[in-house]
Structure 1
Amino acid sequence: MKQHRTPSTPISNKSKAVLTRFVLSAAVTTMLSSSAFAQKLKGNPGTISVTPAEVTYYALERDTLTSIAKQFTDKPSNWEIIGKRNKIGNDRTIPVGSGIVIPAELLAEEPSTAKVFALAGKVIEIKKNGNEIELELGSVVSEGSQIITGKNSFATLALVDDSRVSVPSNSQINLAKLKITKFTKSPRTEIKLVQGKVESKVTPLTQNKGRYEVTSPLAIAGVRGTHFRVGINDNGIGNEVLEGGVAVGKPETPNAMLLPAGKGNVVSATSVGKAIELLPAPSLVAGYQLQERPILQFELNPVGNATAYRAQISTDAQAQNVVSELFSKEARIKFDGLNDGAYFIRVSAVDSNHLEGIPATHAFVLKARPEPPFLLQPKHKVRSESVSFKWTATSTAKFYRLQVANDAQFKNVVLDQDKIADVELNTSQLGLGQYFWRVATIIEKNGQLDQGPFSPIQAFQILAAQSMNPVVDTGENTMNFSWPAEPGQSFLVQIAHDPEFKKIYFSKDLDVANVSIPRPEIGTYYIRVRATDADRFIGNFSPAQKFEIQLRWTTGNGEPLNSVGGTVRPVN
């Protein structure tokens, strides 16, 4: 492994600034490993053959090692290294057609680019010339550009070898180097982390003999794996290895320790922290797979020693197309603002060193639209022979679907009616007992009916309807009325001249289930009663009961004239 170092910028008065480097490179030591002699390789003069590790050039007339070094490496002085690789001891003319092997490590470089593979929110690119633009999906970025993500903004860049660089929210990177080698097209990439975090998933460089570096303040590390994270936190530079290995150290001791997969450490201005086991991946409490509300909710099984949790929502299982992200100190996570669709949630635990642990990815579906209406009635209780279900209107609804069940899980549905065009439904099909009800909105989408999720469930009881005991005109001067009652109830009793109770004759609030009033004038009357339960539930009025006050004979003192058969009444 060849170590590469670049000058660093001071970051404090107390410590010497150095660089964290994650390096994957082709080893120059392979230059001397071949036993093939250049003069034994023959080919068509002026042509080349290419492998990931090297280029073989078949010499033209008057070609020398110096001219070949200049042509392929841009440095004539590299003739000596090329000579050793090909077992040629001096810079002499090469026989026409002789094959000269040039190691990929020496090849000249040419500019490359990266493409915005995934993007969410507002992501800014500051170009090398200082121009600032807002990136879009598919935008091409070049060497020297700075990529800045704001709150809840994300970007994933795709390199020429299909490596991925993910920049989460509140982060900034500098594309310090974006090049490829001539002929072999091997990538030469250097990412400078300025703020926040960067996650890299690198195509194995053993295949293309490329080099990939991430530099950040305070440490130097040589990457021997393909999936790792680097982040700036309050303690220094956090290194987290998910696949492969990372050799971490200071510039003077670049290989102080090897971090294997599943390990991390923190490098400060003064020391290289010890290897720490990354926290295990959190698991989710069951029930997350289908999200039916615009506000998504996930509950985690707590991870020991975790101080926080990081969660990302993406449209792919690799979490490269991230659409939302948050940190939570609680094991309960909420997201908002997502469209219906299939997603993945990636969660990881964060320890006291600010190191993020092993991630776990779970698939789920969001189906929250069309949103259900709000339920209006019934609530809690119904004291009526029929039940009136009412809900609010939704602007996009074509129909509604109502379900009533005996259980909160809706395993025993007793009423299921769809294509309800109105916002209410009346039924007398339900008997006394406990019930649960819910309503869903149905819209027309792409020429087909599309039902959204059901509303939150509302429970209610159907209790015996309020009634009046039969009213009989006994002819007495006082009329007595009574009705069935339950403990703790209070009542409103009304008597009217008409069945619509527009002409009220008598109205009174009572704490007892009976009332006496002076005998009304002769005529037709209607009486009803309404109960208020001990829990303040106000029921419906009982059906109006009609009664007649008839003519009677009275004595001189106004008492009714009675006989053996009862009150004496005039004969019609």
Structure 2
Amino acid sequence: MFSPTMTVRCSVPVPGRRAAGWLLMAGLIAMSWCGSASAGPAGPRTLNPRAKATAPAYVRYTTREGDSLYGIANRYLDGTADWATLSRLNHVPAPRRMPAGIVLRLPADRLKQDWETAHVVATSGPAERAFGKNPYAPLRPDATLVEGDRIRTGPNGFVTLELPDGSFVTVSQDGELDIGKLRRTTLTGAGDRVFDLRHGEVESQVTHAKKPDDRFQIRSPSVVAGVRGTRFKVTYSGDAQTTMVTVFDGAVGVDPAAQNGRDAAPPPGAALQASEQLVKARFGNVTRSGSAVGGPVELLPAPALVQPARVQDGQTVAFDLVPADHAVGYRVQIARDADQLDLIRDLRVSAPHADFGDLPDGTYFVRIAATAANGLDGLPQVYAFERRQVGLEASAGPRANSHDYEFRWFVSRARVDTRFRFVLGKTPDLRQPVVDRTDLSGGQFVVSDLPAGVYYWTIIAEQFQNGRLYETGSAVRSFTIAR
């Protein structure tokens, strides 16, 4: 509302030929309106602009045929009452119709935003959601989340969201993430997406921004990490009061967390400003709460996997890594897809060996990274592997009343055509076999008249399926013959 001491300055812009007739009328109306506005409380009521610490930001809008200030305010601003703000800013009245081609200024902090939704594309293990202060409930794939939803995961629990622009957000195990904002500005089409990381880790694959005011931010109690198209992750430890930002692709702007809960970002429609610290691909940074934003630190190179083509056919799924220089540990993750959107296992180890226990048969992808002394995980390397467990049970013993020694075995997947190789030797390495029989089709083999001594043996099963040869061997066992 205007105060008695407020002075409203109005002016009529010089018209172009196409709008000359309309603006001549608008000028007369504007003069009449300005006179009443300057008169004090009796003038028309308008909304006070929001208090801002910085200079107001505006967005340009060019009128189209049939536009009016009422319609523009209704479509693109917080409400139809904002027509008065438009009238004051642009020194024009509010006629029923405006000619096309008039350039107006719209206040960025009044731009209307439409709510959007996030689609849950993958979950694994304990994963829950809650809206606002409601209690948590199990979160299932294909669920729809909105602004105000909270996500919580437990041990080996993972959730991946897909946003309307094709970006992905993955919450790792033992994490807590709140959807702070999930909107799109009606006028500009820019996305406004803010996620609050309470604990744990979130990894994001962000589609490249197409608008200068596109915003994607991951906020922790320590920092605000904003991007315009990249793959990165943010890890927050409440115990250590530390936030780590790791950038795999693109660049991430890192700023101190807003004080007193205030949103330091510009309003919708205003271009984002330069960040305090820019972290580029292959770098990360570490920031402790209350301290200055940490500087960029180069990530450790990706380690290599020993025997990457090996079929995981043992009782457990285990990997050996080539030791990496300057690594104090390793992180090994398993997913159902190469992009690691459908994570199912996550393990940190101090030595270059990781054992995940049993997994169902199938094709998976393992991602490995070396961890530096500062806690940052290095660049990752992803390998595909096949889990195909073949049970092979074997036994051996002398035949009664003879000098024969009988060997028996049983293999799972009996419906698959299987050939066996039997090897018997005098040393554990079986390098100089006494017997080496291939292409056996049955489940037993007999050796006669063995001299006294210690012997070692194994049975190897070979199966050919789907154009690939699979080979599984029993443990090397020993027996003694005494005469």
Query: Normalization by structure 2: what TM-score?
Result: 0.70
User: Deviation at 1:248?
Assistant: 2.5
Residue 195 of structure 2 corresponds to 191
* Aligned counterparts of 1:260 and 1:82: Cα–Cα separation in 2: 44
User: Deviation at 1:408?
Assistant: 5.7
Residue 500 of structure 1 corresponds to none
* Aligned counterparts of 2:469 and 2:70: Cα–Cα separation in 1: 75
Matching of residues 337-348 of structure 1 within 5 Å: 337-348=358-369
* Aligned counterparts of 1:208 and 1:429: Cα–Cα separation in 2: 86
* Kept in 2: contact 1:104–1:181 (CA 8 A): no
User: Deviation at 1:387?
Assistant: 3.7
* Aligned counterparts of 2:330 and 2:324: Cα–Cα separation in 1: 9
Partner amino acid for 1:167? V
Matching of residues 448-527 of structure 1 within 5 Å: 454-458=472-476
Matching of residues 114-513 of structure 1 within 5 Å: 114-128=118-132, 130-182=134-186, 186-206=190-210, 210-233=214-237, 234=240, 236-250=242-256, 255-268=275-288, 269-369=290-390, 371-373=391-393, 375-377=394-396, 386-391=404-409, 397=414, 401-405=419-423, 414-418=437-441, 420=442, 424-427=444-447, 436-440=457-461, 454-458=472-476
Partner amino acid for 1:90? V
User: Deviation at 1:309?
Assistant: 1.1
* Kept in 1: contact 2:86–2:106 (CA 8 A): no
* Kept in 2: contact 1:404–1:435 (CA 8 A): no
Q: What is the CA deviation profile of residues 136-195 of structure 1, one whole-angstrom value per residue up to 9, with x for unaligned ones?
A: 121112221111110011111111111100011111101112223337654321110001
* Kept in 1: contact 2:244–2:287 (CA 8 A): yes
* Kept in 2: contact 1:235–1:266 (CA 8 A): no
User: Deviation at 1:122?
Assistant: 1.6
Partner amino acid for 1:264? G
* Aligned counterparts of 1:440 and 1:330: Cα–Cα separation in 2: 32
* Aligned counterparts of 1:97 and 1:451: Cα–Cα separation in 2: 72
Partner amino acid for 2:172? P
Q: What is the CA deviation profile of residues 28-79 of structure 1, one whole-angstrom value per residue up to 9, with x for unaligned ones?
A: xxxxxxxxx9969xxxxxxxxxxxx99876232xx43354133222255588
Give secondary structure in 1 for the equivalent of 2:276. strand
Aligned pairs, how many?
398
User: Deviation at 1:414?
Assistant: 2.4
Q: What is the CA deviation profile of residues 478-498 of structure 1, one whole-angstrom value per residue up to 9, with x for unaligned ones?
A: xxxxxxxxxxxxxxxxxxxxx
* Kept in 2: contact 1:114–1:158 (CA 8 A): yes
* Aligned counterparts of 1:343 and 1:316: Cα–Cα separation in 2: 7
User: Deviation at 1:104?
Assistant: 12
User: Deviation at 1:281?
Assistant: 1.0
Residue 90 of structure 1 corresponds to 92
* Kept in 1: contact 2:60–2:103 (CA 8 A): no
User: Deviation at 1:125?
Assistant: 0.7
> Cα gap change, 1:126/1:96 in structure 2, threshold over 3 Å: closer, same or farther?
same
Q: Greater CA deviation, 216-225 or 110-119?
A: 216-225
> Cα gap change, 1:451/1:243 in structure 2, threshold over 3 Å: closer, same or farther?
closer
> Cα gap change, 1:178/1:430 in structure 2, threshold over 3 Å: closer, same or farther?
farther
* Aligned counterparts of 2:165 and 2:87: Cα–Cα separation in 1: 27
* Aligned counterparts of 1:58 and 1:134: Cα–Cα separation in 2: 48
Q: Greater CA deviation, 424-433 or 339-348?
A: 424-433
* Kept in 1: contact 2:218–2:224 (CA 8 A): no
Unpaired runs of at least 5, structure 2? 1-15, 20-58, 265-273
User: Deviation at 1:347?
Assistant: 0.9
User: Deviation at 1:453?
Assistant: 5.1
User: Deviation at 1:95?
Assistant: 3.5
> Cα gap change, 1:96/1:353 in structure 2, threshold over 3 Å: closer, same or farther?
same
* Kept in 1: contact 2:216–2:228 (CA 8 A): no
Partner amino acid for 2:368? V
Residue 34 of structure 2 corresponds to none
* Aligned counterparts of 1:323 and 1:430: Cα–Cα separation in 2: 51
Q: What is the CA deviation profile of residues 92-114 of structure 1, one whole-angstrom value per residue up to 9, with x for unaligned ones?
A: 54534557689897752222211
* Aligned counterparts of 2:296 and 2:370: Cα–Cα separation in 1: 17
* Aligned counterparts of 2:17 and 2:475: Cα–Cα separation in 1: 82
Partner amino acid for 1:310? R
4+ residue segments displaced more than 6 Å: 37-40, 53-56, 78-84, 99-106, 409-412, 429-435
* Aligned counterparts of 2:86 and 2:372: Cα–Cα separation in 1: 48
RMSD: 4.2
* Aligned counterparts of 1:231 and 1:351: Cα–Cα separation in 2: 14
Residue 69 of structure 1 corresponds to 73
User: Deviation at 1:348?
Assistant: 1.1
> Cα gap change, 1:165/1:83 in structure 2, threshold over 3 Å: closer, same or farther?
farther
Give secondary structure in 2 for the equivalent of 1:339. coil
Give secondary structure in 1 for the equivalent of 2:76. helix
* Aligned counterparts of 1:417 and 1:82: Cα–Cα separation in 2: 92
Match of 2:113 among 109, 119, 122: 109
Q: What is the CA deviation profile of residues 282-318 of structure 1, one whole-angstrom value per residue up to 9, with x for unaligned ones?
A: 1112255321113112111122221221111011111
Q: Which protein shows a greater Rg?
A: 1
> Cα gap change, 1:378/1:161 in structure 2, threshold over 3 Å: closer, same or farther?
farther
* Kept in 2: contact 1:38–1:99 (CA 8 A): no
Query: Normalization by structure 1: what TM-score?
Result: 0.60
Give secondary structure in 2 for the equivalent of 1:217. coil
Partner amino acid for 1:309? Y
* Kept in 1: contact 2:158–2:343 (CA 8 A): yes
Partner amino acid for 2:164? V
Give secondary structure in 2 for the equivalent of 1:70. helix
Unpaired runs of at least 5, structure 1? 1-36, 41-52, 461-536, 542-572
* Kept in 1: contact 2:451–2:481 (CA 8 A): no
* Aligned counterparts of 1:203 and 1:427: Cα–Cα separation in 2: 66
